[in-house]
Structure 1
Amino acid sequence: MPPPLRDDWSAGYGYLAGLELVVQPDCTAVLAANDQLKPGLLRAFHERGLTVPADIGVVGFDDMSPSAAALGRKPVPPTDRRPRARRQGMEIEPVTPTTPRPVRRPALVQGWHELTFLHWPVEPDRVAGLLPAGTRPDTLDGVTYVGLVPFLMRGVGLGPGPGLPYLGTFCETNVRLYSVDERGRRGVVFLSLDASRLLPVLVGRLGVRLPYVWSAMRLRRTNGVLTYTCRRGATGRGPTSRAVVRPGAPIARPSPLELFLTARWGMHVPWHGRTAHIPNEHAPWPLHRAELLGLDDDLVTAAGLPRMTDPPISVLYTPGVSVRFGRPDSVGTAGLRVGERSGIEKRRAP
């Protein structure tokens, strides 16, 4: 067993310690004296081609998420996490592996397949201005996240389906943030959605007010490794993205962070001068560990976000789920469908 390494408690020293430990053949696990050391250790191991926990284990103290540690946050006592939402004047719905709002009459069906989640932590104040009115960044341990999600869309169709086999099948990559509205509903806010088929792009932009862009895209699977490529714009001179991922073992019990990032049962979108929440439902995600073998991306910065210089703090893969979307609800008025008016407004109308 290697001797203990002692210095300060920062992520910077964790990185230096990781570089020292990675060359020691008898080092199979690291016990960090606090959670702020862990992001530095993870970065060092990632740069040297080691996968955590398959190649080396990392354990820390303080009950702090890796994301909060990466941003230099202080630990949040567990008993303070849920009451915080109540002190802010509303009850935020819990994070659950299945939807708390089942979709009874679907307006749209889709299949999300061969999907990879890449996530980075970010301070809420840095992204709050990018969210639609009536929403704010959703956080875990005071941290919110930027997501880059490439996948294969299959079987898009109206109503209960069935989906279209050709026009409804295409590659997509989205850049996303996480939101919560005035009624406590968690959701996703899409900053950009690149798709390889023109008709769904037009329908998404005109019908659902989503920022779809037509792009040249491809998904290849070779020897168990997925390669997602994207080049935006008809001229091919726009932002590009390339991610190479090796899916790993299934996750029997997702962590609180993994659930927070993936169990999203709606999206918040600007809709005719107001903000709408569009619910969705699907079976629990069949999540897998994944290793990021390469990433060269311009889509995140093209969406107005700062460049993510560190490796993603979470890399997950899923073979996919079938999804049902419900009808939009207004964020500001409980129970009022977007496009409807209250009884008072109707009586005042000429």
Structure 2
Amino acid sequence: MTKLDPHPPVLSGPRIMRQTWDQLVYVHWAVDPDRVAPLLPRGTRPDVLGGSTYVGLVPFVMRRAGLGRGPAIPWLGDFLETNVRLYSVDDQGRHGVVFRSLEADRLLVSLAARLAFATPYTWARMSMVSDGDVLDFRTHRRWPSPRGAGGRLVVRRGPVIDDPDDLSVFLSARFGLHTRHLGRTWWVPNTHAPWVLREGELLALDDSLVAAAGLPGVVGDPPVSVLTTDPVHTSFGLPRLVRPSTP
């Protein structure tokens, strides 16, 4: 069983980018690790808690994204995002996420991220309406295919969780991502203050992004976890090569 530390590691070396994640919502389903293993980069495997791994649907508002320690990029640094993610660990014991897709409502952001980091950003028409404690996210993919993938997610933010359970920490205490680029697998570290997690009540869900990411049928079951968060500012470090263990 993996039990993660919610406290951030010290990020050494240069920062390559920084950003703030706001109005973030976690919606997760438990799946068999064998189902997602073929979708992960070489040198990583599904991260498991209680015999299951997890598929996440995560909408939020990106704010003040910028490169290095410089200022936020005007206009392009603020956008809506919804990602479909899996949970990974490599042979060096580094825990992370693997993005199957990342919807964004900025075409230039999507193109730049694909070229620079090989992250599967897509361009979508998106909106988020906040009405008190209720957040209403909508997305409709424009490019690439399948065009029209998306849907609607409505959640009510609840009270702060003073003592998050192991699953909540497992899903949120992720200080890095794994990605495949130029024929190799990389781990990109990040750091931020511990999440302030809140309860979430799912009011409506109509989604086709998870199926489009290679996991049909998952959203047909009720999620095992719905969380909301307070904003957090994060910084990313230089990518590090993942070296698979020799059999």
Do these two structures clear the TM 0.5 threshold for a shared fold by scoring above it?
A: yes
Q: Is the 8 A contact 1:95 1:259 kept in 2?
A: yes
Which of 96, 107, 125 is residue 198 of structure 1 equivalent to? 107
- Judging by fraction of residues, say which structure has more strand: 2
Aligned to 2:62: 153
Q: Deviations over 1:243-265 (max 9, x none)?
A: 00100000111111100000001
2:202 paired with 1:289: no
2:187 paired with 1:274: no
Alpha-carbon distance in 2 for matches of 1:274, 1:180 = 16
Q: Which sections of structure 2, spanning at least 5 residues, go unmatched?
A: none
- Judging by fraction of residues, say which structure has more helix: 1
1:1-350 map, 5 Å: 81=1, 95-233=4-142, 237-308=147-218, 309-332=220-243
Question: What SS does the corresponding residue of 1:233 show, helix, strand or coil?
Answer: strand
Please, what TM-score do these two structures have when normalized by structure 1?
0.67
- Matching residue's letter, 2:201: E
Alpha-carbon distance in 1 for matches of 2:97, 2:147 = 28
Q: Is the 8 A contact 2:175 2:189 kept in 1?
A: yes
Alpha-carbon distance in 1 for matches of 2:188, 2:83 = 17
- Matching residue's letter, 1:121: A
Alpha-carbon distance in 2 for matches of 1:319, 1:99 = 16
Runs of 4+ aligned residues of structure 1 deviating over 6 Å after TM superposition are none
Q: Is the 8 A contact 1:103 1:324 kept in 2?
A: no
Q: Is the 8 A contact 1:103 1:280 kept in 2?
A: no
Q: Measure how far apart 1:278 and its partner are.
A: 0.2
Question: What SS does the corresponding residue of 1:107 show, helix, strand or coil?
Answer: strand
Alpha-carbon distance in 1 for matches of 2:143, 2:187 = 31
Q: Deviations over 1:161-199 (max 9, x none)?
A: 321241100000000000000101000000000000111
Q: Which sections of structure 1, spanning at least 5 residues, go unmatched?
A: 1-80, 83-93, 335-350
Q: Measure how far apart 1:122 and its partner are.
A: 0.1
Q: Measure how far apart 1:333 and its partner are.
A: 7.5
- Alpha-carbon distance change, 331 to 234 in structure 1, aligned in 2, over 3 angstroms: closer
Q: Highest CA radius of gyration, 1 or 2?
A: 1
Q: Deviations over 1:129-179 (max 9, x none)?
A: 000000000000111000000000011111013212411000000000000
Percentage of pairs with the same residue = 51
Q: Measure how far apart 1:101 and its partner are.
A: 4.4
Q: How many residues align?
A: 243
Q: Is the 8 A contact 1:101 1:279 kept in 2?
A: no
Alpha-carbon distance in 1 for matches of 2:62, 2:53 = 26
Aligned to 1:64: none
Please, what TM-score do these two structures have when normalized by structure 2?
0.94
Alpha-carbon distance in 2 for matches of 1:161, 1:256 = 36
